Amino acid sequence: MLAAGLGYCLHVRSLEAALVHNWPDELTRDPAIIHFAMSMARPLYAEHCSSCHGRDLRGNHNVGAPDLTDSVWLYGDGDIGDLEASIRYGIRSGHPKAHNVTDMPAEGRSHQLSAAEIHAVIEYVLALSREPHDAAAAERGHKLFYDKGNCYDCHANDAKGNTDYGAPSLLGADSLYGRDRRMLYESVYSGRHGMCPAWAGKLAPVQIRALAVFLYIESHADSSDAPRRLLPEKAP
């Protein structure tokens, strides 16, 4: 009995060590480690992350928390190392290593754009995301996107966003705050400063690594490089 208990503890210790010390990219090749990481991460996600990102990981427009199940990323390209950095240091979290390159500027409040110009850029963003829109206003908004609004500078020429800045794509695949006119107005008039807490110091390194593996698996569920048969029952 005692020996079995001790054996189990040593087994858990060795899985923990493997989870923390292996290269992130190698982790997904080992079913035992993935299984271990998923079972550690699921309750952590439910306790610490689901209030903002949703129990189903699909995000929440009210706090600007992104969907974590798709292939659209604010920072990096969604590999385990990128996810781990976002979780460990957070985004605009106040941690010195947090992602914090730029914000969505308050283009209305700062009088960069007039009310009519904001209306026009909003119609243009709706056009970009293939939503119903006022075509004449969107045409004016298109011009503002590249000159007075300076939008292209962060969201890129093709509006696909920039993962170095954490500037989201405006093409509608995913959205932080939703695509209705009220939320778009709020984004452009008042600016946005989406915040994800830093978990360094609050969660152990092995827990942060486990969460990164969990998000990697959940977001690669449909791609060929995910060990699909290992996918657990749905998120917590």
Secondary element (H or E) of residue 115: helix 115-128
The string over 207-230, giving b where at least 16 C-beta atoms fall within 10 Å of a residue's C-beta and e elsewhere, is bbbbbbbbbbbbbbeeeeebeeee
**Shortest spacing between CB 154 and ligand HEC, in angstroms:** 3
Closest contact distance (angstroms) between CB of 61 and ligand HEC is 8
Instruction: Tell whether the torsion through CA atoms of 149, 154, 157 and 159 is positive or negative.
Output: negative
Reference 74, options 143, 176, 214; nearest CA is: 176
Q: Which is nearer to ligand HEC, 38 or 64 (CB)?
A: 64
Placement of tokens 């007075």 in the chain: 148
- In the complex with ligand HEC, the residue whose CB is nearer, 6 or 48, is 48
User: Based on CB atoms, which residue is closest to ligand HEC, 9 or 46?
Assistant: 46
Instruction: Write out the residues near ligand HEC by the rule CB under 6 A.
Output: 48-49, 51-53, 63-66, 73-75, 83, 86-87, 91, 102-105, 107, 121, 125, 149-151, 153-155, 165-168, 170, 175-177, 184, 187-188, 192-197, 199, 211, 215
By beta-carbon proximity to ligand HEC, the closer residue of 30 and 103 is: 103
36 or 42, CB closer to ligand HEC?
42
CB of 23 to ligand HEC, least distance (A): 19
Q: Which residue is nearest to ligand HEC (CB)?
A: 194
Nearest approach, Cβ of residue 175 and ligand HEC (Å): 4
Task: For 185-217, give the DSSP string.
Answer: HHHHHH-B---B---BTTB-HHHHHHHHHHHHH
**Least separation in angstroms between CB 139 and ligand HEC:** 14
